[in-house]
Structure 1
Amino acid sequence: MFSSTNRTSVFSRWPAFCLMPLLGLMLFASCKDDYPYDDKEPEWLGESVYKYLSEDGNYTTYLSLIDALGYAETLDRTGSKTIFPANDKAYEAYFQSLGLSGKASDVVKSMTKSQQQVLFNSTMLNMAYLDNMLANVPNTGQSDNSGEGIALVRASAASYLDSITFLDKDRLPATEYWADYASRGGIYLMDNTSRPNVIFTPDFMLRLGLTESDWTQLFPDKPYDEVGFYVNGSHVSGNQKNITCKNGYLHIADEVVRPLQNMADVMASHRQTSLFNQLMDKFSAPYYDEALHLSVQNYYGNAYASDTVFVKRYFNDNGVGACLQTPDKKDIPSTQMLYFDPSYNTMNMPTDMAMMLVPSNEAMENYWNSDRGKFLRSVYPTWNDVPMDVLSKFMKNHQLKSFVGSLPHEWSKLSDQKGFLLHLTPKDIEQSILACNGMVYLTNRVFPPIDYQCAYGPTLTSPITKVMKVAIDDNDWLKFHLYLRSLENQYNLLVPTDEAMKTYREPISWALWATEGVDKREIWSFKQIGEKIYADVYAVNEDGSQGAFKQTLGSSQADQNKIMNRLNDIIDMHIIVADNETEPLSGFIDEGNLQYALTKGGTILRVEGEGGATIVHGGGDDECGLPGANIEGGTDNIYFTENSHTFFIDKLLQDPFKSVYAVLKEKPEFDEFFSLLLGDPSVFAYFQEDKEVQAIFDQNTTEQSSGIGQIVTSFNNYRYTVLVPTNEAVRQAFSEDANLWTWNQISNEEDPALKKEKCLYLLNFLRYHFIDGIVPVAGNHFAKDYDTAARDKNNQFVKIRVEANGDQIRFGQTASVLTEDPSLYNILTRDYIVNNKDPQKATDILASSRAVIHLVDKAINYQQMGK
């Protein structure tokens, strides 16, 4: 696409031509040297830079800059420079664009020295480069590239000492770090890095793959050139480059090569970005640097003798440009940082720079007033009132660290720093502005972070969900924010308010009471302190109400582990996947279509009502006879995000505390089937070495864990349905199948083979009533096959057909749920495994299995049906 030549710099061929005659005189005064260039310069070498420009006659303005700064001798005799001058007409046009009238050279003379330096130094590099060398860097030897064609940013002759700005009090950021200087009337500011030049060469664009359509997006008013190049946006045509002088190269620009602002200055000076800039300034502060201050004193003499000059920095953790502490040396929280400092001039140079998407004031206001901005608007009066930790997420999402990796032809795949697509299109861009350290795009829409778009976004801002905010956003243990960021799925997120989080019935202690009768129940009251969650622990009165205070958990690592274990359990049952087409219990709970909803953790929640009047019940709430959770504030506290309906609820939902064993034991209607499930100790002792014969119930005790009471051995940290045939149905099954022996018959059998055969036959009969998948009577209509706990001769799980028709469910075309008595179906249970062989000493829930129990009218003898 672009042509590239491989020329050698005249200054590398003749590195010391000025010194050679002198050396000859000193060392060989009595000898004659036949080398011709000891006494004269090569004819092709050309005049000095200064003389070339003087003789041309069209560069009087540029020469006046050189003369005013005292650089005439330097550019007439010595050095190896690269110069980007422009002619008088270009300077006249430039000054007129700034509203400066008069002869251009006279305008130069009226400038301060600082203004002259800023204007001139951007036109000079302190090395001699042909155009094809401008994009080259030394080869490090660490890769297969030669270092050619990869440079974009070059250090110019500019110095950070060239310019010092006084920022008056009306323009100071309105934050605590700047307040003192407002009372003094303002502050002197300077950069702590020199502003470089940005040079787009054909070699760089070819190597990078920057296309003509990319160029048109970046610089719509500048022609694409495959021969010439651009310096700070000023064009150098192909016939005006590589003019060789004895002390450098001239590349004549079509217009003045003006100094570029950095990205921070671009935002501060653009009239359409004042709101975004105001928010960026909240992350800034003035810093005193003694070394810089001394440099200023040495450079400017007494000009700033009575003043202190500061550097404006932005809080960030980006490598060498990082700013990690406040001016008074306090560490800045990571939640209050940017990705990079937009005022740091040398970021990523020489091979790259940064990029920023800067929404216009109108775009910012449109987002604020939209449904997507509701969660901010409903809490904070204005953008300026958004706290730093919440605002940081928004500002950072508009920063991309690499311009090279973010070219327009890549926008359809462009992701933010967290890996989520930005969905940036050319239609989003109002203006492209080149800065010395990056490209600034003025946009007509905002690019909110994934945290704002997804399910937990409303928790970030709400004053009544601080506990859940910290829990969901935790990046060390729980990491639920990573799960809830998926925009490919839809969720219901139920967020208990801080008040609701004060009445947590701690599951281990309540399960011990419900299943074993050991009453050491506790109620925990969660609270947020800084970035951690603590829990005040209370005893429980006989009626289940909160009793006396016992202790506060949270100060130790062990406490934090314990709290995180419970918060993980809580959040798991407050997330409902809403778009699982294969799951009948999936959907949005406020739409009035679900009687039960399946949570991420595997439990089910009972749902009543719709919209703002939706009420949700946990199995533990129903078990304790407690009311369900209402949406706090009704419809006002339902938030529709990109991937969820998020609800603030006034009660913390609780899982059941009773196990399958405990529920079956207490219901006389379940007696016959429960007796069979208990088995016969003598039979299990006989087959204790036989892995095929396993009891239905056991405490599953190991050296490190155990169940809380008897748990179902075939359960495996999943969700299940348990069918309990009526007492009469169980008796009928035995009367109709001679192969179905009672435990007493099996115990008395002396033939080992027959004993095992009848034992497995009975166990599979029982296990067929344990179904992998939770199927409540929930008004659904579906037909689906599920695995059971029974196994066939090939050791594969035997399936059962489930057909739901509204409030009727039939299993295996035989058994139907009996729904006359609400206490005998849709009974929710939970089998717990904890982290100690003595459950009373356990601190954590290791695993659990949820189940729904139904009384059914028939026992399902699939083995007999198979015959």
Structure 2
Amino acid sequence: MHAERNVKQVVRWCLYIVLGFPLLNSCKDDYIYDNEEPSWLGANIYEYLESSGQFDCYLALVNDLGYKETLRLTGSKTMFPANDEAFSRYFLSKGLTGDGPTLIHNMSASEKRYLFNSSMLNMTYLSHMLANVSSNDQGIGEGIALRRATSASYLDSISFVKPAALPKTAFWNRFRERKGAYLADNGSKMVLYWTPEFFSTSGLTEADWAVIMKGETDKPYDTQGFYVNDAHVESNRKDVTCKNGYLHIADDVVAPAPNMSEVINSTAEMNTFAGLMEKFAYPYYDGSVDDAVKAYYGAGSIEDSVFVKRYFNQTDFSSDPDEKVDIMGYGTLAFDPSNNVYGGNTDMGVMFVPSDAAMEDYWESSRGQFLRDSYGDWDEVPTNVISVFLQNHQRLSFLTSLPHNWDIMTDNAGFEMSVKEEDVQKAYIACNGIVYMTDKVYPPVDYQAVYGPVLTADTTTTMSAAIKNDDMDDVNNLKYHLYLRSMDNQYNLLVPTDDAMANYRDPITWALWANEGVDKREIWSFYVKMGKVVADVYDTNEDGSKGALLRTVGADALDTEGAEEVANRLQDILDMHIVVADNDDEPLSGFIDEGTLPYVLTKGGSVLAVSGTGEQVKVQGGGDQEMGLPEAEVVTLEKDHRKARYEMDNGRTFFIDRILQDPFKSVYYTMSANEDYRAFFDLLVGNDDVFLSLADNEDYKDIEPIFETSEGENSKMSGIGPVVTSFNNFRYTVLVPTRAALEETFRDDPDLHTWDEISAQTDLDVKADWTRYLLNFLRFHFIDGMLPVSGVSYQDKAYPTAARDDKGIFVYVKASSDGSSITFEPENGSGGPQQAKVITSNQEDYNVLTRDYIVNNNDYTLATQILSSSKAVLHLVDHAINYQK
């Protein structure tokens, strides 16, 4: 069957040939290009350049390299030659003068090859085709290419680098002993083609081009011609058609562009940044590169091994098996600035490199003070610290970093970089990206935020680990660095030193002692072990000082419960040591060192007492006042005898010598111990007989006492002693009318009944109504919001209370302060007897701070964690207020 089919095909083709002879003969007679070349087809490339008389230097390269015959024969080449005048400028830029071809002849063979091959592509490309790629994942290949590999090879750029020019790190010590190192490029250098097609596809604008070309002259935005690296090919000099390819004649010599690493290291104004970047350079041995180099240059020409200079980075890091480096601990760059092919045909990188002057300005500024205080010199900053800084000045994609997008461009953490066009002093086109030299520094958010100084100081390692823990699976990860990164807020961050963190009075055990008289007091000493915060727990002596070691919490990796205990206490500490400074709705919001706020409100709802200004500011928590402990002060730095106070972009940071403690006493026990509070306290305690008599009736289930213990066998939580039932993990103000004020109110309001009167009432419905009325009267004195007498004036600020109207809606009270006292009245009040003013004659009766604790065990003496707590300030007031009248 196959043989028969083949015979038929042969016969068929013979017939075609016989029948086609007349037609073929006719075409030959009419088609003139069978006997002559098209008139539009030029000479071969070599003859074209030779006949012009303007390309002697370029032809000298061709002839010296033996390419003459190649460029005379038919083939497929695309070339970007420059004329002799352009070569004169090129040599002059290198300090060379004289006859151009002679200067060419004096170049080494590898220099000639590298220069010539960088101006040649081994295929034919009309100018509009330079931006095309054969295919990509989307199947679209037109207009998206920015770079191409040329005929140039890394084999032509092998250099011997002497010790003085090698990076100063230990990775290069062995080469210092060998008097230098043979280094190959990290891939062959590509050439950039800035074409109108790419401009259109990428969205690159004329304004963008002006920034990219900043520092250059006569480089106009061109939608007809194009650029090769930074050499201009005008529209009337492109697409010159020759027999064996295309010529695009450039105004300047198309030389191989340096990579970003080479640009930065060779620019004198970038020395500081370059020195830091070089800490991440390492020698990489690739056997295939070593073999290729030695084969190319011949046996014996290079005696030592050839290495590639690379950089530790997060994009394409390859480890040398001989170098055992923990790069995550050491630090990395975002990408390798020496990788010549980074980004492929369609993209590349960008680096914003601050000038030496900008680096110095930042170092000496308040923004850089924390680094200066910690390390003294840029070169002394550890690599794992400086790597974050360097990464923030690298952009992974040129296409997403075009200048017209800088106003919305974000850094690696998603925060605005705020780069302005006027920040750029000069731009450099590298073979793998753009280097912008700037007069500003763009520190990472970690170095802008208030916790930046904490991360670098050797005296705050515990708070550093507590704030900045990136292990998302770790129960110890409190994520406070995410909160403190906000550049839309201003903070005061109070940072106890490591010494201060070694003396933390555990709130649960000290609250047991302060409220219930159960002395199981503990002092916790926090420290960092294997990157995690753990705590040694100590007993206390009779005077409350640190006693014997009881246990260690959180050190065992399997001790999940212990780790949760540590995290629970750290969260309590951090909430106590953060003060929002720019909350316009909060009277106690502001900077603590400006002397305007005797009291400030913390993130966790606590109140801190503040005195002094600037570096002399002092701070005290309610628990410190309760125990008679001294105020915390800003510590002095041993290096320069200055106070550790830092101005950061989103607030101020203060290193302090004591850990601040919240109150331990609850509302219940604080009021019970103050005789001036006694009359109101007795009303708050209520009458057990009344509550018991109403407890079993569904109609009265809304009746709830002011205090309760929250204990029970079925509950996994409890309060430490009686807690206020209306409190809910928030901050409050409790107004305590005097005995005389209460007697006056009960006398004037016939609907108010004492607990004895209510207990004696036999009609349960009446008893319930009287109870509700009294409880609502009492709860109107419990206000949502922490309002100490604070020296701050305000007028008619409304706050909800714990009382409800007939519709079950919370009733509001309004507060006004003249700075020295506060007046409260119902929201619709108009003064008179319904006004209650804070009595400030006795310091023990107003601005009294308390805390109600809810803990994680129905037996609070066995609790290990604080589940929630409510902070309150108590004031003795001269009148009772009652919205019901």
Rounded Cα–Cα distance in structure 2 between residues aligned with 1:521 and 1:689? 44
Letter in 1 for 2:681: F
- Tell me the SS of whatever aligns to 1:203: helix
**Could you report, residue by residue, the CA deviation over 1:105-156 in whole angstroms, capped at 9, with x for unpaired residues?**
332332222212211221122332211111123454638xx43222212222
Q: CA offset at residue 677 of structure 1?
A: 2.1
Letter in 2 for 1:428: D
- Tell me the SS of whatever aligns to 2:509: helix
The 1:846–1:188 alpha-carbon spacing in structure 2 relative to 1, beyond 3 Å, is: farther
Aligned residue for 1:226?
A: 223
Letter in 2 for 1:431: K
CA contact (8 A) 1:505 1:654 kept: yes
Q: CA offset at residue 839 of structure 1?
A: 3.3
Aligned residue for 2:580?
A: 577
| Range with bigger deviation, 493-502 or 521-530 | 521-530
Q: CA offset at residue 275 of structure 1?
A: 1.5
CA contact (8 A) 1:317 1:324 kept: no
CA contact (8 A) 1:325 1:331 kept: no
Rounded Cα–Cα distance in structure 2 between residues aligned with 1:724 and 1:739? 20
Q: CA offset at residue 204 of structure 1?
A: 1.3
Confirm or deny that 1:87 pairs with 2:88.
no
Rounded Cα–Cα distance in structure 2 between residues aligned with 1:334 and 1:546? 36
The 1:280–1:141 alpha-carbon spacing in structure 2 relative to 1, beyond 3 Å, is: closer
Which runs of 5 or more structure 1 residues have no equivalent in the other structure?
A: 1-23
The 1:147–1:795 alpha-carbon spacing in structure 2 relative to 1, beyond 3 Å, is: farther
Aligned residue for 1:148?
A: 142
**Could you report, residue by residue, the CA deviation over 1:790-843 in whole angstroms, capped at 9, with x for unpaired residues?**
111222110111121222222215222222322222111112223344434443
1:384 to 367, 374, 379: 379
Q: CA offset at residue 587 of structure 1?
A: 1.7
Aligned residue for 1:796?
A: 809
TM-score scaled to structure 1, two decimals?
0.91
CA contact (8 A) 2:462 2:526 kept: yes
1:310 to 304, 307, 312: 307
- Tell me the SS of whatever aligns to 1:822: coil
Rounded Cα–Cα distance in structure 1 between residues aligned with 2:683 and 2:703? 14
- Tell me the SS of whatever aligns to 1:646: strand
CA contact (8 A) 1:296 1:304 kept: no
2:248 to 244, 251, 267: 251
Rounded Cα–Cα distance in structure 2 between residues aligned with 1:394 and 1:746? 70
**Could you report, residue by residue, the CA deviation over 1:81-117 in whole angstroms, capped at 9, with x for unpaired residues?**
3221122332233123212334323323322222122
**Could you report, residue by residue, the CA deviation over 1:645-679 in whole angstroms, capped at 9, with x for unpaired residues?**
22111101011122222222333333332233233
Q: CA offset at residue 334 of structure 1?
A: 6.0
Confirm or deny that 1:735 pairs with 2:747.
yes
Rounded Cα–Cα distance in structure 2 between residues aligned with 1:324 and 1:830? 55
**Could you report, residue by residue, the CA deviation over 1:50-109 in whole angstroms, capped at 9, with x for unpaired residues?**
444344443333233234334444444465332211223322331232123343233233
- Tell me the SS of whatever aligns to 2:360: helix
Rounded Cα–Cα distance in structure 2 between residues aligned with 1:801 and 1:440? 59
Q: CA offset at residue 340 of structure 1?
A: 1.4
Confirm or deny that 1:555 pairs with 2:565.
no
CA contact (8 A) 1:431 1:443 kept: yes
Aligned residue for 1:707?
A: 719
**Could you report, residue by residue, the CA deviation over 1:562-614 in whole angstroms, capped at 9, with x for unpaired residues?**
32222222111111112222221122211211111111111000112222322
Letter in 2 for 1:543: D
Aligned residue for 1:290?
A: 287
- Tell me the SS of whatever aligns to 2:535: strand
Rounded Cα–Cα distance in structure 2 between residues aligned with 1:588 and 1:775? 18
Q: CA offset at residue 231 of structure 1?
A: 0.5
1:610 to 608, 613, 618: 613
**Could you report, residue by residue, the CA deviation over 1:666-710 in whole angstroms, capped at 9, with x for unpaired residues?**
333333322332333414523567553233223446644333332
- Tell me the SS of whatever aligns to 1:127: coil
CA contact (8 A) 2:285 2:320 kept: no
Aligned residue for 2:200?
A: 206
Q: CA offset at residue 28 of structure 1?
A: 9.1
Aligned residue for 2:435?
A: 440
Letter in 2 for 1:170: A
Which runs of 5 or more structure 2 residues have no equivalent in the other structure?
A: 1-12, 826-830
| Range with bigger deviation, 803-812 or 538-547 | 803-812
- Tell me the SS of whatever aligns to 1:717: coil
Aligned residue for 2:61?
A: 65
Aligned residue for 2:652?
A: 645
The 1:175–1:694 alpha-carbon spacing in structure 2 relative to 1, beyond 3 Å, is: same
The 1:759–1:678 alpha-carbon spacing in structure 2 relative to 1, beyond 3 Å, is: same
Letter in 2 for 1:452: Y
The 1:292–1:855 alpha-carbon spacing in structure 2 relative to 1, beyond 3 Å, is: same
Letter in 2 for 1:192: N
Q: CA offset at residue 327 of structure 1?
A: 5.5
Q: CA offset at residue 389 of structure 1?
A: 2.6
CA contact (8 A) 1:325 1:332 kept: no
The 1:844–1:246 alpha-carbon spacing in structure 2 relative to 1, beyond 3 Å, is: farther
Aligned residue for 1:716?
A: 728
CA contact (8 A) 1:317 1:323 kept: no
Rounded Cα–Cα distance in structure 2 between residues aligned with 1:427 and 1:486? 26
Aligned residue for 1:332?
A: 327
The 1:250–1:687 alpha-carbon spacing in structure 2 relative to 1, beyond 3 Å, is: farther
CA contact (8 A) 1:682 1:747 kept: no
Confirm or deny that 1:242 pairs with 2:239.
yes
Rounded Cα–Cα distance in structure 2 between residues aligned with 1:236 and 1:376? 48
The 1:202–1:604 alpha-carbon spacing in structure 2 relative to 1, beyond 3 Å, is: same
Q: CA offset at residue 42 of structure 1?
A: 6.2
**Could you report, residue by residue, the CA deviation over 1:278-298 in whole angstroms, capped at 9, with x for unpaired residues?**
111112211222232222233
- Tell me the SS of whatever aligns to 2:161: strand
CA contact (8 A) 1:314 1:323 kept: no
- Tell me the SS of whatever aligns to 1:333: helix
CA contact (8 A) 2:700 2:768 kept: no
Letter in 2 for 1:358: V
1:697 to 697, 707, 711: 707
1:781 to 772, 793, 812: 793
Aligned residue for 2:450?
A: 455
CA contact (8 A) 1:833 1:848 kept: yes
CA contact (8 A) 2:351 2:434 kept: yes
Q: CA offset at residue 378 of structure 1?
A: 2.5
Q: CA offset at residue 619 of structure 1?
A: 0.8
1:654 to 646, 658, 661: 661
Q: CA offset at residue 499 of structure 1?
A: 0.9
- Tell me the SS of whatever aligns to 1:593: coil
CA contact (8 A) 1:121 1:158 kept: yes
Rounded Cα–Cα distance in structure 1 between residues aligned with 2:710 and 2:135? 65
Confirm or deny that 1:510 pairs with 2:505.
no
CA contact (8 A) 1:687 1:693 kept: no
Q: What is the alpha-carbon root mean square deviation over aligned residues? A: 2.8
Q: CA offset at residue 48 of structure 1?
A: 3.9
- Tell me the SS of whatever aligns to 1:391: helix
Confirm or deny that 1:187 pairs with 2:181.
yes
CA contact (8 A) 2:679 2:739 kept: yes
1:664 to 663, 667, 671: 671
- Tell me the SS of whatever aligns to 1:371: coil
- Tell me the SS of whatever aligns to 2:678: helix
Aligned residue for 2:8?
A: none
Confirm or deny that 1:126 pairs with 2:122.
yes
The 1:851–1:104 alpha-carbon spacing in structure 2 relative to 1, beyond 3 Å, is: same
Q: CA offset at residue 192 of structure 1?
A: 2.8
2:695 to 685, 689, 694: 685
Aligned residue for 2:164?
A: 170
CA contact (8 A) 2:186 2:310 kept: no
* Mapping of residues 28-67 of structure 1, within 5 Å: 43=38, 44=40, 46-67=42-63
Letter in 2 for 1:468: M
CA contact (8 A) 1:285 1:327 kept: no
TM-score scaled to structure 2, two decimals?
0.89
Rounded Cα–Cα distance in structure 2 between residues aligned with 1:655 and 1:29? 108
- Tell me the SS of whatever aligns to 1:63: helix
Q: CA offset at residue 494 of structure 1?
A: 1.0
- Tell me the SS of whatever aligns to 1:206: helix
Letter in 2 for 1:63: L
The 1:303–1:260 alpha-carbon spacing in structure 2 relative to 1, beyond 3 Å, is: farther
Q: CA offset at residue 266 of structure 1?
A: 0.2
**Could you report, residue by residue, the CA deviation over 1:410-441 in whole angstroms, capped at 9, with x for unpaired residues?**
33333322233333223322211100111111
